[in-house]
Amino acid sequence: MKSFHPPEILLLGPGPSPVPQRVLDALARPTVGHLDPSFVAMMDELKELLRFAFQTRNALTIPISAPGSAGMEAAFVNLVEPGDKVVICRNGVFGGRMRENVVRIGAIPIVVDDAFGTPIDIDKVEATLMGHPGVKALAFVHAETSTGVESDAAALCALAREHGALSIVDAVTSLGGIPVQTDSWGADAVYSGSQKCLSAPPGLSPLTFSERAVAALKARQRPVQSWFLDLSLVMGYWQGGGARSYHHTAPVNMLYALHEALLCLSQEGLEASFARHRENHLRLCRGLQSIDLELPVAERARLPQLNAVGVPAGVDEAAVRRRLLTDFGIEIGAGLGEMAGKIWRIGLMGAGSTPQNVDRVVDALGVCLGRRAA
């Protein structure tokens, strides 16, 4: 066996996204102890950078030491107890995973289904909350990566408040690419992933809890059943003021990388990042139309960072993806769940969202489909 050297692939799938050299350089810096004073100072900056990205002043804003799925699980296990009623909006694969979390806790999921490829229907959610008094939480995916659809997070968080429920928001694919306005939405638990629009490697899940969410955590009847994800323990390590206690050994170098990636975002500015994602998405739409490919999601609900593209009739979608990878060094995603075989997913996330990448993928797709000269 030899050292592993991965091929150079342009990552234009549903994540991970391309990681800038600057972030890789940060990852390669010397490992220090996770209670080293220099590291502890960096952790404080990291929390502040996460507050900036989440647009919040929430004190409990930290990266969970595991991928986005752990952020999802942390939100549910800390806020939901056995027997609680939870309204889950399911318009894609990740809404289905939320339901799975609720079931495993021994809580009662009340699922509001919408067709994959369409946004969450706010009226249906309101009717469901009215029909089920005493719901503990309303959970939804802001940016459904499986379908490329954005839902109205502001309206859903407002509905949760009106009905006395906590809101749990999956912002894995949205953070950094489209506005995530935690405080102005009044969202209670929002989690994300490092590998999408933040362009750090996969493996960390930024998470923020409102004061209401922290109060709900403190008021629990039973201890959180996951020791590792119990935020009342994890907080002991992430709190400021030099009183940190050991909980688990933090993924030190990954945290350097996330710090650097968030620094890139803060130097670009949130609004500039959102505008860049939007412009490159529009360029992609024009490019795809020029080779007669369709975008099945309604224009107003399209995510700029994750583009669902209809597979033309008679085309072997897996063969096209294989050729993109082998002949052009480009990764795009397949459809997930009930969208398998029907769509490709082109991610223009974080550092991957550039005009050059858009042109590269459109040209390569055109060649693979015989709609453009090689």
Ligand X SMILES: Cc1ncc(COP(=O)(O)O)c(C=O)c1O
Shortest distance, CB of residue 170 to ligand X, whole angstroms?
5
> Is residue 197 within 8 Å of residue 54, measured between CB atoms?
no
Shortest distance, CB of residue 208 to ligand X, whole angstroms?
15
Enclosing H/E stretch for 104 = helix 93-105
CA distance 181 to 226: 28
181: nearest Cα among 246, 270, 110: 270
Please count the other Cβ atoms lying within 10 Å of the Cβ belonging to residue 111: 15
Shortest distance, CB of residue 57 to ligand X, whole angstroms?
25
DSSP per residue over 126-137, as a string? HHHHHHSTT--E
Binds ligand X (CB under 6 A): choice among 26, 43, 77, 94: 94
CA distance 30 to 122: 49
Stretch that binds ligand X, among 63-71, 231-239, 274-282, 364-372 (CB under 6 A): 63-71
Nearer to ligand X, 186 or 202 (CB): 202
145 is a contact residue toward ligand X (CB under 6 A): yes
Binds ligand X (CB under 6 A): choice among 27, 32, 42, 69: 69
Stretch that binds ligand X, among 2-10, 122-130, 165-173, 339-347 (CB under 6 A): 165-173
CA distance 167 to 190: 8
Positions in 320-359 near ligand X (CB under 6 A): none
Could you give phi then psi for residue 87, rounded to 5 degrees?
-85, 125
DSSP per residue over 330-343, as a string? EE-EEP-GGGTTTE
116 is a contact residue toward ligand X (CB under 6 A): no
Binds ligand X (CB under 6 A): choice among 55, 65, 91, 173: 173
Secondary structure letter of residue 320 according to DSSP: H
CA angle 168–174–175, rounded 5-degree value: 90
Shortest distance, CB of residue 17 to ligand X, whole angstroms?
11
> Is residue 293 within 8 Å of residue 277, measured between CB atoms?
no
201 is a contact residue toward ligand X (CB under 6 A): no
280 is a contact residue toward ligand X (CB under 6 A): no
Binds ligand X (CB under 6 A): choice among 73, 114, 121, 170: 170
Stretch that binds ligand X, among 111-119, 155-163, 166-174, 256-264 (CB under 6 A): 166-174
Reduced to 3 states (helix: H, G, I; strand: E, B; else coil), residue 58 is coil
Binds ligand X (CB under 6 A): choice among 13, 63, 67, 119: 67
DSSP per residue over 122-166, as a string? HHHHHHHHHHSTT--EEEEESEETTTTEE--HHHHHHHHHHTT-E
- Residue 182 carries which side chain, given as an amino acid letter? T
Secondary structure letter of residue 193 according to DSSP: -
Binds ligand X (CB under 6 A): choice among 10, 12, 13, 15: 15
Shortest distance, CB of residue 177 to ligand X, whole angstroms?
12
Nearer to ligand X, 306 or 362 (CB): 306
193 is a contact residue toward ligand X (CB under 6 A): yes
Binds ligand X (CB under 6 A): choice among 68, 287, 347, 352: 68
Binds ligand X (CB under 6 A): choice among 19, 77, 112, 141: 141
Q: Which residues bind ligand X (CB under 6 A)?
A: 14-15, 67-69, 72, 94, 141, 145, 170, 172-173, 193, 202
